[in-house]
Amino acid sequence: GRGSQSSSSVLVVAVRVNENYDERPRLDSMRVAVQGCSHGDLDEIYASVAHIEQQENTTVDLVISCGDFQAIRNQGDFDSIAVPDKYKELGSFHKYYSGEKVAPYPTLFIGGNHEASNYLWELYYGGWVAP
């Protein structure tokens, strides 16, 4: 499928759902935004996706974050994350975890080597990291 890329490294691709796929978005296709190393800054990711939607006059159905998602809920999570102190930032994930904000897109993530392992251990078999 076609792809678009913004300065914040979010790639939007169309995923074929059946063999009658063409380049036009249709009901049998899905637009997926793929982003790497979010470092807990969901606000920036969602703003980039919204910008691409506006720029390309399309809609995104799903966001996938690949590696270093950093689902940091609170200061206590910093005890279990393997990053130098100068990179320990709360980010915006905690706002989605607490329910203060709601993700505008269904979002899946693949953990990396800089994760809050104590929280992900609680979700050993996967699950919802935020409401």
Write out pLDDT tens, residues 30-56: 899 999 888 889 999 999 999 999 999
What's 18's DSSP letter?
A: S
Q: Is the pLDDT of residue 78 over 80?
A: yes
- Radius of gyration of the chain, Cα coordinates, nearest whole angstrom: 16
Q: Is the pLDDT of residue 15 over 80?
A: no
In a domain? residue 94: yes
Reading the block at residue 72, the tokens are 């940091």
In a domain? residue 131: no
Q: Is the pLDDT of residue 24 over 70?
A: no
Q: Is the pTM of this model over 0.85?
A: no
Mean pLDDT of the chain: 81
Using DSSP's 3-state secondary structure scheme, residue 57 falls into coil
**Per-residue model confidence as pLDDT tens digits over 82-98:** 888 888 899 999 999 99
| Residue given tokens 């490294």 in the structure block | 9
- Structural domain for 99, as ranges: 3-122
Q: Which amino acid is at 90?
A: L
In a domain? residue 109: yes
| pLDDT given at position 124 | 80
In a domain? residue 130: no
What's the total number of domains in the chain? Answer: 1
In a domain? residue 127: no
